[in-house]
Chains A and B, each alone.
Chain A
Amino acid sequence: MSIATPPGGFDVVIVGSGISGSIIAYQLGKAGKKVLILEGGPPVPKSREAYLQTFFTANAKTPESPYPPVLQGAGSAGNPLGQPDPATLNTPRYTVLQIGAWQNPKQCYFVYGAQAAIAATDPQMTFAFGSSYERVAGGTTWHWLGTSLMHLPNDFQLKTKYGQGVDWPGGIAFYNQLLPYYRAASDVIGVSSDRDPMVDLYKTFNVQPSGVYGPNYDFPMPGIVMSLNDALYQQKVTSLKVDGIPLFVTPTPQGRNSRPGKRRQCAGNTNCIPICPIQAKYDGTVTLAEALQTGNVQIQYQTVASNIRLSGSQVSGIDYLTYDTQTGPVSGRGTAVGKRYILAAHAIETPKLLLMSNGNPGFPNGVANGSGQVGRNLMDHVMYLAWGLAKDPIYAFRGPLSTSGIEAARDGAFRSQRAAYRIEIGNEGWNWAANDPNTTLADFVFGQNNSQLNGNSVNAQGQKLRFDPNLPAFSQLYGSKLVQTLNGVYIRQLRLGYLIEQLPDPDNRVTLSTQYKDHLGLPRPQVTYRIREDYVRNAFVSAKQVSTQIFQALGATEYTMPPADAVLSGSGASSSTFRYQGQNFVFYGAGHIIGTYRMGSSAANSVLNARQQSWDHENLYMVGSGVFPTTATANPTLTIAALALQAADNVLKDLG
C-alpha cells in the first residue's frame, strides 16, 4: 500500500480505524482536512462471509471467534484449546479464551503477576481482566451488542453527588455540552428507538426529556420490537422495588436497523456478538467507508504504531512497523507526520503506545504521562449473571441478543453506598450463562449434569432443579424423549446480566511487560486488576438478591450456578471468583474497556483535558472509552461516538 502524501502534508494522523477513529476521520475529511489513518489490523474483508465462516467452524463461539488472528488450533497437553503463543503473532489481542490461561503468558497476551492475596475474601485479590477487543479495520464494534444508551446526568458528577470516584471534568456542565453530540451520535449509528419509553425512563431520574432531546427530536428509526421474553418481564417486574425504586422494563435503543435503510433490516440472527451476518447492526466499517469516500482520508493497513516522537512538547511524528502476514517478519517501517495526532486504538493499545514512547528527552515516563495516570484506572462494567427457567415457554434463542433492559436502578440515593447497575435482559437463553445449547444437550445425551437440569441439584431457595422429576438423575435420553426434554428446556431459558459500575482505582493498570513481547518485538501489556471497593462488591450482593426476586416474580426457577471456592495459586488459579459477605461471586466482563487515559479537570491527576487533548502535548488528542473518568452504567459505545464527534470539532477548531 502506498500513501500519497498530499501537498502541504497531512493535517491529522489517526491511530486506529474503529468507531472513534473512523468518526473523526469522516468529520475531518468532510471538512476538507487531509487525514491519514494507521490501522494495525487487516482491511475490512470484501465480504463478511469470510469472518462468518470462521465463526461457524469455531469450537468456542467467543466474541473474538470470527476475527483474525485465529484463536484456536489443534490442542495439546497443557494447551487443550490450542491457543497460539502471542509471541508468534504481529497483532495479538486479549481474548475471552485466554482468561482461563491467564497465568500462562505462552497462551495469554496480557501478562499477569502471581496472586498476591492469601484468601478469596482479601480485597487485594487480583483477577484476569474480563473483556477483549479486536485489532482489525472497523475495530471492536464488529462484535458490539448495539446497545445505544446515554449516561445519566448524575453519572458525570459521581463525586459531587455521592462522594464516590471522580466527576467528569466540569461535572454536570460536561453532560450539558455533550447532549447535542449524543443526538448526533445516535444519527451516526442509526439508533432504533421510540421516544416515549425513553421519556418515561428519564422522568424517573428527574431528567427533563426536552432537555435531553430537544422539542422536535426523534430517533433515526422506530424502536426494535420487543421479544416474548421481554413481555414476561414487562408484566411481572412492576411488583418489585430495588432500594425503594420501582422496577419496570424499557425497550433498549439499539444500533441496528428496525427498517431497511443504508443497512439491512435486522433479521434477528441472535448473533450481534460475535458478528451480525447481514450488517443490520452498525459497526465502525460503516463510517470508515464514508470517511474514505470523502477523498481526503487515506488508510494504511497492517501498520502498527510503535512510538510517538516529540519535538519539544509537541508531537512531531508517529513511528510505525508494517507486516505482510500475521506471523511474518517486519516488512517496513516509517514515520507518519501531521499537524495534529489522534490516538484511537482503544483502552489497552493506546496506553501501551504512550508508555512505549519513552525515549523522548524530558519525557522518560512516556508521552502524555506527566500525571503518571497513563494506563491507570482500568475499568469495565463488571457483570453479574443470573439465569433461570420460565414456567411457560418464552422462546429463547430468537431475536437480537437483547431487546430490553431494566434501567430503573441506574441512579439513586443508594449510590452513596453501592454501585449502580443496569439489568440487561438476554434473549439468548443460557448461551452466555452456561454455554448452551451444548451443555444441556451433552447432559441429556451422556447422562451428565453440568446444566443442573439432570441430577440432584437444588438451588438456594431449596427448589429441586431436575427438569423432569419423572426421570431418574443422570438420565441418558434419545429419540422422542430427548426431543421433548430439550425443547422444554431451551424454550424456557431466561438470562439477566447486571452491568455494575466500577470505580477508578489507580492500581488497576496497564504497564509494559519487561519480559514478554509480540512478534514485532513490541512489549506486551502487563495488567493488574482488582475489585477492591465495598461500593462495587455491595452491588453484587444486591444483584444476587434482586435476581432471585425477579425470577420469583416471574414464577421461574432460578438456575444461577453458585461458584466454587476460589483457588488462589497454581496454573488453575481462579480468574474471576471472589468471596464477599460470606458468599462466592464470579464476575464476567462486559466488553467495556474504560479509563486508561482519562479526562479530568487538572493536569495533576488526568491525561486529557475536557477537550480530550493531552495536557502535556497540545497537538495530541485521544478518544475512545479510555477517556472516561468513570464507567457509569450505560454501555459505552454511544458515549464513545458522542465524544469522538466532540473531539473532531475541537480538532477542527485548532486547525482553523
Chain B
Amino acid sequence: MVFDYMDYFVSMSVGLTGFSSDAIAPQLDTIDIKSAYLAAFDENLPTGMAEQILERYKTLFVAGGSKPGSEEQIVGQMLGGSGTSAAQILAMRQLIFLWYAGAWPTVQSDGNSSTGGQTFSTVLSADSYTQGLVWRVMQSHPMGSTTYNYGYWASNPPPLSAYLENPV
C-alpha cells in the first residue's frame, strides 16, 4: 500500500464499529491490530478501492470540520450511497466484520433464500482473533483468552461503555 491514511482509517473505523478511538487505536498499541486490518482491507479489495474509500471519507470528514464525534454520521452517508458504489459499501461492511470477528468475510448473498445468504470468513491471525470486538461488545473476553480471575462469571460485568471506550 502506497498511501498513508492510518488516521482516516482509524477515524472511519470508529464510525463503522461504534467503538471509541481509544479502543480502536490505543495510545500504547503494542499489538497494533489496526495496521494488520488496514493491510487486509487493502489487499482483499480490488486494487485502489481501499484508497478510494478512505479518500471519500477524508473529503467528507474534512468538509465537516474534522470534528471528533462526526465519524458515525459520515460513514452513515457513505453507507447510504453518498459518493460510494455498491462494491465500496460492501467493502466498508466487510471492514466492520473484520474489526468485530478478526476475520475477513466472504459474503454469499442470495435474495431467494429465506436467510438472505451466508457469510464465511478467514481468521487473519491469532492476534486478530483475540482482538475481535465481538468479545468486547458482549462484555466478555475472547473464548480461550481471558484476563479475568476465578469466579468472575458469578457477577455482572463492568458496564458496556467500559468495553467500548478503553483499550483491552
A contact set with B: CB distance below 8 Å:
52-53, 55-59, 61, 80, 225-228, 258-259, 265-271, 275, 277, 393, 395-400, 403, 427-429, 431, 437-438, 441-442, 445-450, 455, 457, 474, 476, 478-483, 486-487, 490-491
How far does the alpha carbon of A450 sit from the alpha carbon of B116 in the complex, in Å?
8
Chosen A-B contacts, 29 in total, with CB atoms closer than 8 Å, are A52-B144, A53-B126, A56-B126, A59-B103, A225-B153, A227-B153, A270-B144, A275-B144, A395-B139, A395-B153, A395-B156, A395-B157, A398-B141, A399-B154, A437-B132, A438-B103, A438-B121, A441-B101, A448-B116, A476-B79, A478-B72, A478-B93, A480-B18, A482-B96, A483-B19, A483-B164, A486-B134, A486-B138, A491-B138
Asked whether B79 lies within 8 Å of A478 as measured between CB atoms, the reply is: yes
Q: Shortest CB–CB separation between residue B57 and chain A, in angstroms?
A: 13
How far does the alpha carbon of A70 sit from the alpha carbon of B156 in the complex, in Å?
38
Asked whether A479 lies within 8 Å of B97 as measured between CB atoms, the reply is: no
Q: Shortest CB–CB separation between residue A464 and chain B, in angstroms?
A: 15
| Set of chain A residues within 8 Å of B86, measured between Cβ atoms | none
Q: Shortest CB–CB separation between residue B56 and chain A, in angstroms?
A: 15
Asked whether A397 lies within 8 Å of B138 as measured between CB atoms, the reply is: yes
| Set of chain B residues within 8 Å of A395, measured between Cβ atoms | 139-140, 153, 156-157
Instruction: Decide yes or no whether B162 CB sits under 8 A from chain A.
Output: no
Q: Name the CB-closest residue of A to B152.
A: A268
Asked whether B105 lies within 8 Å of A442 as measured between CB atoms, the reply is: yes
Q: Name the CB-closest residue of B to A482.
A: B18
Asked whether A449 lies within 8 Å of B153 as measured between CB atoms, the reply is: no
| Set of chain A residues within 8 Å of B141, measured between Cβ atoms | 269-270, 398
Task: With A398-B157, A483-B164, A487-B139 as known contacts, state yes or no: A268 contacts B150, CB within 8 Å.
Answer: yes
Task: Apart from A57-B126, A277-B145, list 19 A-B contacts with CB within 8 A.
Answer: A56-B125, A56-B126, A56-B130, A225-B151, A227-B153, A269-B146, A396-B138, A397-B138, A398-B141, A398-B152, A448-B117, A448-B119, A476-B93, A478-B17, A479-B15, A479-B75, A480-B72, A483-B160, A486-B137
Q: Name the CB-closest residue of A to B155.
A: A228
| Set of chain B residues within 8 Å of A396, measured between Cβ atoms | 138
Q: Shortest CB–CB separation between residue A50 and chain B, in angstroms?
A: 11
Instruction: Decide yes or no whether B10 CB sits under 8 A from chain A.
Output: no
Q: Which of B72, B121, B132, B150 contacts A267 (CB 8 A)?
A: B150
Asked whether B138 lies within 8 Å of A490 as measured between CB atoms, the reply is: yes
| Set of chain B residues within 8 Å of A398, measured between Cβ atoms | 139-141, 152-153, 157
Q: Name the CB-closest residue of B to A72.
A: B122
The B interface, classified by DSSP as helix, strand, loop or mixed, is: mixed
How far does the alpha carbon of A277 sit from the alpha carbon of B120 in the complex, in Å?
26
Instruction: Decide yes or no whether B112 CB sits under 8 A from chain A.
Output: no
Q: Shortest CB–CB separation between residue A427 and chain B, in angstroms?
A: 7
How far does the alpha carbon of A403 sit from the alpha carbon of B154 in the complex, in Å?
11
| Interface core residue of A226, A275, A438 (most chain B CB under 10 Å) | A438
How far does the alpha carbon of A429 sit from the alpha carbon of B130 in the complex, in Å?
18
Asked whether B75 lies within 8 Å of A478 as measured between CB atoms, the reply is: yes
Q: Name the CB-closest residue of B to A454.
A: B116
User: From residue 103 to 151 of chain B, which have CB atoms closer than 8 A to chain A?
Assistant: 103, 105, 107, 109, 114-123, 125-126, 129-130, 132, 134-135, 137-141, 143-146, 148-151
Asked whether B121 lies within 8 Å of A59 as measured between CB atoms, the reply is: yes
| Set of chain B residues within 8 Å of A53, measured between Cβ atoms | 126
Instruction: Decide yes or no whether B8 CB sits under 8 A from chain A.
Output: no
Task: With A450-B118, A487-B139 as known contacts, state yes or no: A482 contacts B123, CB within 8 Å.
Answer: no
Q: Which 10 A-B pairs have the closest CB atoms?
A: A399-B153, A442-B119, A56-B126, A490-B138, A483-B18, A271-B144, A479-B72, A437-B134, A448-B116, A398-B153
The A interface, classified by DSSP as helix, strand, loop or mixed, is: loop
Q: Shortest CB–CB separation between residue B128 and chain A, in angstroms?
A: 9
| Set of chain B residues within 8 Å of A226, measured between Cβ atoms | 154
Instruction: Decide yes or no whether B53 CB sits under 8 A from chain A.
Output: no
Number of interface residues of B (CB under 8 A): 57
How far does the alpha carbon of A491 sit from the alpha carbon of B140 in the complex, in Å?
9
Task: With A399-B153, A478-B79 as known contacts, state yes or no: A270 contacts B93, CB within 8 Å.
Answer: no
Q: Which of B116, B125, B145 contacts A57 (CB 8 A)?
A: B125
| Set of chain A residues within 8 Å of B83, measured between Cβ atoms | none
Asked whether B145 lies within 8 Å of A446 as measured between CB atoms, the reply is: no
How far does the alpha carbon of A364 sit from the alpha carbon of B134 in the complex, in Å?
57
Q: Name the CB-closest residue of A to B118.
A: A450
Instruction: Decide yes or no whether B64 CB sits under 8 A from chain A.
Output: no
How far does the alpha carbon of A277 sit from the alpha carbon of B145 in the complex, in Å?
7
Instruction: Decide yes or no whether B16 CB sits under 8 A from chain A.
Output: yes
Q: Shortest CB–CB separation between residue B87 and chain A, in angstroms?
A: 14
Q: Shortest CB–CB separation between residue A343 and chain B, in angstroms?
A: 33
| Set of chain B residues within 8 Å of A269, measured between Cβ atoms | 141, 143-146
Q: Name the CB-closest residue of A to B164.
A: A483
How far does the alpha carbon of A398 sit from the alpha carbon of B140 in the complex, in Å?
6
How far does the alpha carbon of A103 sit from the alpha carbon of B119 in the complex, in Å?
24
Asked whether A268 lies within 8 Å of B143 as measured between CB atoms, the reply is: no
Asked whether B114 lies within 8 Å of A455 as measured between CB atoms, the reply is: yes
| Interface core residue of A56, A270, A457, A474 (most chain B CB under 10 Å) | A56
Q: Shortest CB–CB separation between residue A268 and chain B, in angstroms?
A: 5
Asked whether B140 lies within 8 Å of A482 as measured between CB atoms, the reply is: no
Asked whether B118 lies within 8 Å of A56 as measured between CB atoms, the reply is: no
Asked whether A56 lies within 8 Å of B140 as measured between CB atoms, the reply is: no
How far does the alpha carbon of A369 sit from the alpha carbon of B125 in the complex, in Å?
49
Asked whether A446 lies within 8 Å of B97 as measured between CB atoms, the reply is: yes
| Set of chain B residues within 8 Å of A449, measured between Cβ atoms | 114-116
How far does the alpha carbon of A482 sit from the alpha carbon of B18 in the complex, in Å?
7
| Interface core residue of B153, B154, B164 (most chain A CB under 10 Å) | B153
Q: Name the CB-closest residue of A to B73.
A: A479
| Set of chain B residues within 8 Å of A441, measured between Cβ atoms | 97, 100-101, 134
Task: With A438-B101, A449-B114, A491-B139 as known contacts, state yes or no: A479 contacts B18, CB within 8 Å.
Answer: yes
Asked whether A59 lies within 8 Å of B153 as measured between CB atoms, the reply is: no
| Set of chain A residues within 8 Å of B93, measured between Cβ atoms | 445-446, 476, 478
Asked whether B143 lies within 8 Å of A431 as measured between CB atoms, the reply is: yes
Q: Shortest CB–CB separation between residue A365 and chain B, in angstroms?
A: 45
| Interface core residue of A476, A481, A487 (most chain B CB under 10 Å) | A487
Q: Which of A59, A397, A428, A431 contacts B122 (CB 8 A)?
A: A59
| Set of chain B residues within 8 Å of A275, measured between Cβ atoms | 144
Task: With A56-B123, A395-B157, A398-B153 as known contacts, state yes or no: A479 contacts B146, CB within 8 Å.
Answer: no
